[in-house]
Amino acid sequence: MDPEQALINERLNKLKAIRALKINPYPYKYSPTHHAEQIKNSFAGLKPEEKTKESVCIAGRLLTKRDMGKIAFATVSDQSGTIQLFAKEDLMQDNYKLFKKLDLGDFVGAKGIVFKTKSGEITIEIKELTLLSKSLRPLPEKYHGIKDPEIKFRQRYAHLATDKPARDALIIRSKIIGEIRKVLDEKNFIEVETPILQPQYGGANAKPFMTHHNVHNMDMYLRISPELYLKRLLVGGFERVYEIGRSFRNEGIDQSHNPEFTMMECYQAYADYSDMMELTEEIYERVAKNIFGTTKIKFGENIIDFKRPWRRISMVEAIKQNTNIGDISKLDDSEIKDLLKTYNIKYDKEYIRGLAIETIFDELVQDKLIQPTFITNHPKETTCLCKLDRKNPEFLERFEAFATGMELGNAYSELNDPIEQKFLLEAQAKQLRAGMEAHPMDEDFVKALETGMPPTGGLGIGIDRMTMLLTGNESIRDIIAFPTMKNVKIEHPHEGEKKKDSKKGIKV
């Protein structure tokens, strides 16, 4: 028998013993009055060995336990942090028998008075102990934290249970989303919801996940972007809309990519991409200030400053400044193809000049953009949903925001000419039929534009990458509660146990 299964069997025996004491190991409810950090902050002024008369009640997971006969110390963890418990047989009497049968990982409720130990640690002297949930499976690595990335992300619940910084990152993520909503709501944007299941995907050049709707006998797609539906709302009379939600792209997984990710997309009538630059700056600056109290955030070895204004530079100029290529816009196609070979850049699709230039930028320049930077004026072939630059029609009124070498957002002066849009989508559909990653044709979207859409600025910001950057996490998996993982078979410790009274569930 492997060591883990031996521990599980031991816990199953304890579960039987606890039931024999007429104790329900899985009660329905408990009412804590305080959290760990609240108690520690409220009673920080106590002198060593000083006791209070105030009773507190806390609930959380047991992380450590030091049994010394008739007394014991333990540590319990809740969402806010950890606090020490002190158990004494004389004070707890029969309740102490329950304490002796507890395992690390059990959820408990503890009621008692607060005191400060001789060594200065705020502690709860237990008067009453309640078992709230018996843990059958030991936490990996106990309370020291999970180091194996495979266990860390596959058993995310166990990782979060033993790693407060990991929980804190998800809490900060929630606060970031809340601050973004505040900015947009103040500017009279209306939060909306658009379909996740779509009969026609669109809004980006990406491979979708496909499913099938049985009732209508039709294939459907998980959205790769909410863009085309949000634009339909502008056609319908809304002037400022946004959505924060999941998008799905059938692509690989790496440090900054997960097939399921969260985007904020917003669209503002009578605006253009320069307005979206200002909005991007404001969102990042305000989120950083309101959550962290500063615009300067440490990421890896760099201090990133999100204070406005950010640097603005065209894609052509960025290539010129960061490589020996010079002005790439003046090179002919054969010279650009030679550059791809010279720099050993993978480009295994049909040659399209603008896409080749963008690929050269991605491979040679992007990782050099450490401080927040807007890369503007992308080649016209890079998207079919954007207006041409009003000064040079070889480029688009588009920007991508970068920091720490990572793309943070994307924005356009949105194309609203239905004739031009139809022509471009048809050209993209040809590329798609030829096996390239391209934007599909959406006849209904063109029909919407024919109805009339006002001049519009649109912006998409990746919530996952924003959270990575602001929390200093260099992997997207650290700031997603449940990142995508390959499926494996799970064996349960109680499989094979005799079931008694199916209405009441398993009894052991």
Overall residue count recorded for the chain in this entry: 508
Looking up residue 444, the CATH number of its domain turns out to be 3.30.930.10
State whether 119 and 216 are in the same domain.
no
CB-CB contact of 304 with 373 (8 Å)? no
User: Which of 368, 369, 358 shows the shortest CA–CA distance to 315?
Assistant: 358
Q: Which residue has better confidence, 152 or 451? A: 451
pLDDT of residue 500: 45
Looking up residue 101, the CATH number of its domain turns out to be 2.40.50.140
Instruction: Give the pLDDT confidence of 192-230 residue by residue, as tens digits.
Output: 999 999 999 999 888 999 999 999 999 999 999 999 999
In the chain, the percentage of residues whose pLDDT exceeds 70 is 94
Mean pLDDT of the chain: 92
CB-CB contact of 208 with 224 (8 Å)? yes
Q: Is residue 462 part of a domain?
A: yes
DSSP lists the bridge partners of residue 65 as 74
Structure tokens at 227: 């863009």
CB-CB contact of 241 with 224 (8 Å)? no
pLDDT of residue 51: 94
DSSP lists the bridge partners of residue 264 as 244, 461
Instruction: Give the pLDDT confidence of 322-347 residue by residue, as tens digits.
Output: 999 999 999 999 999 999 999 999 99
pLDDT of residue 505: 38
Q: Which residue has better confidence, 186 or 508? A: 186
Q: Is residue 335 part of a domain?
A: no
Domain count of the fold of the chain: 2
Structure tokens at 111: 């009621």
* Among candidate residues 82, 104, 138, the one where a domain is terminated: 138
* Lowest-pLDDT choice from 136-140, 256-260, 450-454, 480-484: 136-140
pLDDT of residue 288: 98
Cα–Cα distance, 429 to 499 (Å, whole number): 58
- Cα 327 to the chain's mean position, in Å? 38
Q: Is residue 159 part of a domain?
A: no
State whether 288 and 404 are in the same domain.
yes
Model pTM? 0.89
Cα–Cα distance, 259 to 269 (Å, whole number): 30
Structure tokens at 472: 């200093």
Q: Is the pLDDT of residue 508 over 50?
A: no
- Residue 174: which H helix or E strand, with range? helix 164-186
**Local confidence band at 501 (pLDDT 50, 70, 90 cut-offs):** very low
State whether 244 and 390 are in the same domain.
yes
pLDDT of residue 491: 66
Q: Which residue has better confidence, 144 or 454? A: 454
pLDDT of residue 503: 42
Q: Is the pLDDT of residue 437 over 90?
A: no
Cα–Cα distance, 201 to 439 (Å, whole number): 9
* Among candidate residues 93, 121, 138, the one where a domain is terminated: 138
Residue type, 80: S
pLDDT of residue 490: 67
| Average of per-residue pLDDT across 463-470 | 96
Cα–Cα distance, 309 to 373 (Å, whole number): 9
Instruction: Give the pLDDT confidence of 66-99 residue by residue, as tens digits.
Output: 999 899 999 999 999 999 999 999 999 889 989 9
Cα–Cα distance, 469 to 178 (Å, whole number): 17
Q: Is residue 332 part of a domain?
A: no
User: Rounded to whole angstroms, what are the CA distances from 14 to 28, 106, 505, 506?
Assistant: 20, 12, 18, 15
| Contacts of the segment 484-487: beta carbons below 8 A, 24+ positions apart | 484/253, 484/258, 484/259, 484/260, 485/153, 485/154
Cα–Cα distance, 418 to 42 (Å, whole number): 63
Q: Is residue 49 part of a domain?
A: yes
State whether 128 and 172 are in the same domain.
no
**Local confidence band at 507 (pLDDT 50, 70, 90 cut-offs):** very low
State whether 49 and 104 are in the same domain.
yes
Q: Which domain holds residue 302?
A: 164-307+373-479
Strands 311-314 and 373-376: parallel
**Local confidence band at 415 (pLDDT 50, 70, 90 cut-offs):** very high
Q: Is residue 108 part of a domain?
A: yes
| Average of per-residue pLDDT across 424-439 | 81
| Average of per-residue pLDDT across 292-319 | 97
Cα–Cα distance, 165 to 154 (Å, whole number): 18
CB-CB contact of 382 with 396 (8 Å)? yes
User: Rounded to whole angstroms, what are the CA distances from 270 to 238, 240, 244, 454, 458?
Assistant: 11, 10, 22, 6, 11
